Amino acid sequence: MEKQKNTIGRRKEAVARVYLSKGTGAITINDKDYKTYFALVYLQNQVEAPLKTIDALDKFDVKVNAAGGGIKGQAEAVKLGIARALCEVNAEFRPALKAAGMLTRDPRSVERKKPGKRKARRSFQFSKR
């Protein structure tokens, strides 16, 4: 692999553009270290998960531009982006990543608000009198 691979990961409203290149294991998100950007440990684990699955935590450098949504959506978008980039680098990684469920785009998102309702499904309080 002579140059970096770039892929995109999405979740809810979050979009993560991932640039993967051979390196020492530095993961940067929006020009910050991922442990600074995602302060919560379970979100850091989400980001590391695809690399841990193929035992390559210190073989690739990852640079990410994340936008939209909240931190959980962004972390899961980054996870999908990294998994897709690893598949482009080496097709042999695909079965392990697929078995771990890392290549599936989670389609769940917020349901739209309906007219005559307070939220998507919640009605206004009913008053009998």
Tokens of 12: 């809810």
pLDDT at 100: 92
pLDDT at 4: 87
pLDDT at 2: 58
pLDDT per position as a tens digit, 95-128: 999 999 999 999 999 999 999 999 999 999 999 9
Domains of the chain, CATH where assigned: 5-100 (3.30.230.10)
pLDDT beneath 70: ranges in the chain: 1-2
d(CA 128, CA 83): 55
pLDDT at 3: 83
Q: What's the whole-model pTM score?
A: 0.89
Provide CB contacts within 8 A for 84, sequence distance 6+: 7, 8, 9, 18, 103
pLDDT at 13: 94
